Amino acid sequence: MRLYSERNGNQTEYIVNLVWDEEAHVWVAICDEIPLALESESLDELINRIRLAAPEIIELNKLPHRESVCFSMEKHERMVFA
């Protein structure tokens, strides 16, 4: 997932890695630049948590102020065929 923080036409991109934790049976979101670390049992729930938390975390950590935060997500799935 990519977050774009925009100010006066300048964009800052933050990459949020979404990973399934097989052992804990949760989705985990990690972004060292913001910093962000969240987990949830469903991917949709995790994405909603990121949408709520990321703008606030960006502001609290005094990262470049934003006029808007945009989200872009790519899904890559690894499938193993036996």
Residue 81 pLDDT:
84
pTM of the shown model? 0.75
Going residue by residue through the chain, which has 82 residues, state the pLDDT in tens, using 9 for 90 and above. Answer: 777 776 666 777 888 889 889 899 999 999 998 899 999 999 999 999 998 998 889 888 887 655 667 777 766 667 788 7
Residue 75 pLDDT:
65
CATH 3.30.2390.10 fits 2-72, yes or no: yes
Tell me how far the alpha carbon of residue 40 is from its chain's centroid.
12
Encoded amino acid at 82, one letter: A
Residue 42 pLDDT:
95
